[in-house]
Structures are given as structure tokens and as C-alpha cells.
């Protein structure tokens, strides 16, 4: 709960300070890159949470990472501020909320598509076009393959799920049969 509040507060503050759309996109990429660095280099989270390491040493590491990743100045300043306030380990939530803020400002919607088999590029484009017409927003699609679905696709748009997979149909059929047997 606390990490959601912190993530939302910092994400919205950063979003409000950026007026240029190109800078907004670059800031999102920078935040994601910094967050990925924290995930990949397993020692970094322990370094930042260690109480005996001074904030100044941590600040030097933050600035070095920002320099290597060529992070935007506003993002770099925010990362230094997060370090000073001991909030850098909340970066994953900040990225999550900042991505939502960027999408809102750019009138975009992210759609997660899970299918039993890889989708052809033309099918992905047709789906993107159809969803664009329905939702009236620019659609960003990321795909995942899950062979346990057997066939069909599952769409996740925010907290809504449309499941038209064979696995789901079989589970529904099973529940229906079980209800009839009880009756």
C-alpha cells in the first residue's frame, strides 16, 4: 500500500514537470532502463538499502548509472532525490505509475495478448486496428505465448480480461457439467 502511494506520488510529480512529449517518452525509457539495472545487478538493491553506506556514496553510484544509461536530466534529478529520501527501492512502482501517466497523456492503451501460438504480424496489426477503433486510443500490444491455452487468445486491458481460449471454454464446460451432476 505504501509503495503504491509513493510510486504514484513520484510518478505524477515527474509527469507534471515534463511538457514535451518526446522528453516524456525518453523519461519513461530512462526509468525503465534504471529499473532494469536494479533487477539485473543483484547487488544494487542491497547496496541502496544498506544503512551503513552513506547517502553520498549512493548518490555517486546513482549519478554513475544515470551517466552510463544517458538518462534524461529530470529523471537523473529524481533518481538523486529518491536516493536522498531513501525511496530508490520503490522505483518499480514509480515506473509502473509513470507508464500509466505517460499512456494517459499520450492517449494510449496497453494490451497484453496471450495466445497458444505466436501471432503473425498481420494478425497483431489487425487486432491493434480493431482495438484502436473500439477504444479510440493508440494501442500498444505486447504478446506472450502460453501453450497451455490450447488455442484462442486472451486479452488483458488494464484490469479487464477477455478470455476466448480453448482452455477457458473447457473449464466452463466442466463447471457446467459439474453443476448438472449436482442437480
Q: Identify which of 46, 82, 42 has the alpha carbon closest to the alpha carbon of residue 62.
A: 82
Q: Please say if the pLDDT value at position 158 is more than 70.
A: yes
Same domain, 86 and 97: yes
Same domain, 19 and 83: yes
pTM over 0.85: no
Same domain, 129 and 98: no
**Residue located via cell numbers 480493431:** 130
The domain boundary, picked from 70, 104, 138, lies at: 104
* pLDDT range class, residue 112, cuts 50, 70, 90: very high
pLDDT at position 180 is 87
pLDDT above 90: percentage of residues in the chain: 92
Q: Which domain holds residue 157?
A: 107-182
Same domain, 149 and 170: yes
Q: Please say if the pLDDT value at position 152 is more than 80.
A: yes
* pLDDT range class, residue 183, cuts 50, 70, 90: low
**Arithmetic mean of pLDDT over the chain:** 94
pLDDT in tens, 53-62: 999 999 999 9
pLDDT in tens, 115-125: 999 999 999 99
The domain boundary, picked from 86, 104, 122, lies at: 104
> What HEC string does 96-114 produce?
HHHHHHHHHHCCEEEEEEE
The arithmetic mean of pLDDT across residues 81-101, rounded, is 95
Same domain, 12 and 82: yes
Same domain, 100 and 115: no
CATH number reported for the structural domain that contains residue 83 in this entry = 1.10.520.20
pLDDT in tens, 17-37: 999 988 999 999 999 999 999
Same domain, 76 and 111: no
* DSSP per position, 18-66: ---HHHHHHHHHHHHHHHHHHHHSTHHHHHHH-TTS-HHHHHHHHHHHH
Same domain, 43 and 77: yes
Q: Please say if the pLDDT value at position 182 is more than 80.
A: no
Same domain, 100 and 83: yes
The arithmetic mean of pLDDT across residues 75-92, rounded, is 95
CATH number reported for the structural domain that contains residue 145 in this entry = 3.40.30
Same domain, 92 and 119: no
pLDDT at position 169 is 94
| Residue 58 vs residues 16, 17, 94: alpha-carbon distances, Å | 26, 25, 19
**Taking a C-beta distance cutoff of 8 angstroms, is the pair 65, 107 a contact?**
no
Same domain, 22 and 88: yes
The domain boundary, picked from 77, 104, 131, lies at: 104
* pLDDT range class, residue 74, cuts 50, 70, 90: very high
Same domain, 79 and 125: no
**Counted domains in the chain:** 2
The Cα 3–Cα 91 span in angstroms is: 9
For 123-141, give one letter per residue: b (16+ CB within 10 A) or e. Answer: ebeebbeebeeeeebebeb
Amino acid at each position: 500500500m505504501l509503495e503504491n502511494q509513493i510510486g504514484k506520488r513520484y510518478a505524477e510529480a515527474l509527469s507534471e514537470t515534463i511538457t514535451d512529449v518526446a522528453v516524456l517518452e525518453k523519461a519513461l525509457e530512462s526509468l525503465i532502463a534504471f529499473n532494469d539495472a536494479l533487477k539485473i545487478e543483484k547487488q544494487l538493491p542491497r547496496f541502496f538499502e544498506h544503512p551503513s553506506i552513506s547517502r553520498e556514496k549512493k548518490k555517486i553510484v546513482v549519478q554513475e548509472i544515470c551517466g552510463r544509461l544517458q538518462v534524461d536530466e529530470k529523471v537523473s534529478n529524481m533518481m538523486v532525490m529518491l536516493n536522498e529520501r531513501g525511496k530508490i527501492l520503490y522505483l518499480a512502482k514509480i515506473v509502473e505509475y509513470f507508464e500509466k501517466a505517460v499512456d494517459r497523456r499520450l492517449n494510449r492503451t496497453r494490451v497484453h495478448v496471450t495466445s497458444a501460438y505466436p501471432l503473425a504480424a498481420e494478425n497483431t496489426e489487425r487486432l491493434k486496428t480493431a482495438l484502436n477503433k473500439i477504444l479510440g486510443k493508440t494501442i500498444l500490444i505486447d504478446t506472450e505465448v502460453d501453450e497451455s491455452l490450447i488455442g484462442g487468445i486472451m486479452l488483458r486491458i488494464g484490469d479487464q480480461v477477455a478470455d476466448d481460449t480453448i482452455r477457458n471454454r473447457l473449464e466452463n464446460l466442466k463447471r457446467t457439467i459439474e453443476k448438472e451432476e449436482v442437480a
